[in-house]
Amino acid sequence: MDSPSYTPQDAPVPEGVVVVERASSAQELAPKLNRTAADVIRFLLEQGEMVTATQSLSDDMIELFAAEVGAQVHMVDPGEEQEVELRKRLGADLFDDEDDDDAPLRPPVITVMGHVDHGKTKLLDRIRSSHVVEGEAGGITQHIGAYQVSLDGRMLTFIDTPGHEAFTAMRARGADATDIVVLVVAADDGVMPQTIEAISHARAADVPIVVAINKIDRENADPTRVLTQLAEHGLVPESWGGDVIVNEISALENIGIDELLESLFVVADVEDLRSSPEGRARGVVLESNLDVGRGPIATVLVQRGTLRVGDPGVAGAAVGRVRALVNDRGETVDEAPPSTPVVVLGLSEVPQAGDEFIVAPDEKIAKSVAQQRGHWHRVASIAGTAAAAAGSGAKLEDLFAQIQAGEAATLNLLVKADVTGSLGAVVESLKKLERDDVKLAFVHKGVGAITEGDIQLAATTGSIVIGFNVRPDRRVRDIAVEQEVEIRTYEIIYKLLEDVESAMLGMLAPEIEEVVTGEAEVREIFRVPRVGAIAGCLVQSGTITRGSKVRFLRDGTIIWKGEISSLKRFADDVTEVRSGYECGIGLSDFQDLKAGDVIETFDERVIERT
């Protein structure tokens, strides 16, 4: 028997499938399936489930009743039903992807990632200048965040993203625009923290990785060492019996660039990327901005169909008839087939990166859908502000509830530590806690401070961030609250393991929450005879109080904990200094001060588990 549930969240909903919000009551579910609330309650009672007409139903209950009446349901989160209905009005609900096996091949879409200074930009510039479609580098009059290159009559589309955070932020919004990731690693530097981060982001996107070992022209280049490091992170090269294609290149000397492009074609052939150029276009907004002379403009990557001048389009709450299309060389074009990036002019407002761009059947429907989306976006933002307080992200406390419900719980973790030795010890110790009913999945493991990119990745993958001897700064903490990502920081490994194990047993002890009360940056160091080093600081947030507990951070890593022994404003002793003021801070028994270090004060309070 066919499954009663139709679950892919990012796929269009076919005819005959009923859209049902999760946690619907019997009263809300029954009319959609042409039944009464009493029918739902009676059936569930026969299955041993006691429910009332207004009680929220679980997904299993809804699917069970749908199977009983022979209906297919598409489960959506609360508030998403309106979006599904709007997509139906746009004509984006039909399974017009089913004929993709017979559709023509399309160019692969490629994103270049890697550690800073490993040559990503130089590689992109070299590819662009050597292989720009129908023109040389001088023909490029503007940068639109994406471009196409040609080799032997075949094309590749490159997305020039500003960083891993943007790559994952777009994925979090459902914009799976990338087919292949090129991982650039410098032969003289090897695998670095951002390289590991890029691997984690690419794996989370579930796209194939092609490695480009750059700077092989350097005297101290050691490609073999890089291969060893990559293998340690699960990227085993073909030459070692693995399945990862590795190319040795020099973007500076133009060595191996053509071979790299040919490797990308090989991967694209294996992936068999196809898309029909027929019908109304669909795509994704890569970036957008408000241009003084041209109004709202958006860079759109066409994914299906052909986008033409004059088409009525909708992207999020933005709507408009396509007034002009501009390609990556600044040329005005009449149409754009699949995998082609173009700047679209004519929208009513600036859409968000990651918004789906759909050509509507007519302008009237496009305007109606955009207006309704604008309304629901405003409603959702108001509701989201209230919901943020409650939080709906992955929590350590949720584990035992999943286990009690008979579910095999998987805890996604993003682990950051101060040094590689600590990181290895933490990860190996956590792995030993795995049980049959609780699995641990390490989305990312890295060394250094907890960054905005870590929070974006955790939000996308539903992970808990664990920091060992590292701390997030104020901005990262704010983003974590906004994204509803739980950050847990530890300085004692057995406490970390104790918390995770206790969560598995449903026996979490009272939590001691550390509340950051102030943050000051060290600007200058003063040496005072018989007193020692005094840190000349600027208080950046909160209030610094004499005698308060303090952490001393360098590049996000905790290097000392203690108390503030002295606090001065000019020559005067003071009890506290507020944000925006300068002060002199003496620490109880720490003298290794450097400009740029951060002094973080905190209080502790006990929160009982409920």
Kindly state the average pLDDT of the residues 178-194.
Answer: 90
3-state class (DSSP) for residue 21 = strand
Q: What is the pLDDT of residue 336?
A: 94
Among the ranges given (1-5, 49-53, 72-76, 293-297), the one the predictor scored with the smallest mean pLDDT: 1-5
Q: Report the percent of the chain where pLDDT is more than 70.
A: 80
pLDDT bucket at 311, cuts 50 / 70 / 90: very high
Q: Pick the residue with more confidence: 77 or 342? A: 342
Q: What is the pLDDT of residue 396?
A: 63
Largest interatomic CA distance in the chain:
86
What is the C-alpha separation between 463 and 412, in angstroms, rounded? Answer: 5
pLDDT at 217 over 60: yes
Q: What's the chain's average pLDDT?
A: 80
pLDDT bucket at 81, cuts 50 / 70 / 90: low
What is the C-alpha separation between 140 and 148, in angstroms, rounded? Answer: 11
Contacts of 89 (CB under 8 A, 6+ apart): 365, 368, 369
pLDDT digits (tens, 9 = 90+) for 223-279: 999 999 999 988 999 989 899 999 999 988 889 999 999 999 999 999 999 988 988
Would you put residue 187 in left (φ > 0), alpha (ψ -120 to 50) or beta? alpha
pLDDT bucket at 389, cuts 50 / 70 / 90: very low
Query: For 514-607, CATH number?
Result: 2.40.30.10
For residue 503, report the phi and psi dihedrals to the nearest 5 degrees.
Answer: -60, -35
If you classify domain 398-509 with CATH, what class do you get? Answer: alpha beta
Domain with CATH 2.40.30.10 in the chain: 282-385, 514-607
Domain with CATH 3.40.50.10050 in the chain: 398-509
Query: Quick check: 322 and 310 in contact, CB under 8 A?
Result: yes
If you classify domain 107-271 with CATH, what class do you get? Answer: alpha beta
- Amino acid in the structure at residue 134: E
Query: Quick check: 262 and 271 in contact, CB under 8 A?
Result: no
Q: What is the pLDDT of residue 307?
A: 95
What is the C-alpha separation between 151 and 158, in angstroms, rounded? Answer: 13
If you classify domain 282-385 with CATH, what class do you get? Answer: mainly beta
Contacts of 527 (CB under 8 A, 6+ apart): 533, 534
Domain with CATH 3.40.50.300 in the chain: 107-271
Question: Closest by alpha carbon to 548, among 516, 512, 589?
Answer: 516
Q: What is the pLDDT of residue 412?
A: 83
pTM for this entry: 0.60
Q: What is the pLDDT of residue 482?
A: 85
Q: What is the pLDDT of residue 493?
A: 82
Query: Quick check: 170 and 164 in contact, CB under 8 A?
Result: no
Task: Name all contacts of 507-510 with Cβ < 8 Å and 24+ positions apart.
Answer: 508/396, 508/397, 508/609, 509/609, 510/606, 510/607, 510/608, 510/609
Six-digit token string for 56: 């929220």
Query: Quick check: 144 and 341 in contact, CB under 8 A?
Result: yes
Kindly state the average pLDDT of the residues 436-452.
Answer: 81
Would you put residue 541 in left (φ > 0), alpha (ψ -120 to 50) or beta? beta
Kindly state the average pLDDT of the residues 315-340.
Answer: 90
pLDDT digits (tens, 9 = 90+) for 565-587: 889 888 888 999 999 999 999 88
Q: Report the percent of the chain where pLDDT is more than 90.
A: 23
Question: Closest by alpha carbon to 490, among 480, 479, 500?
Answer: 500
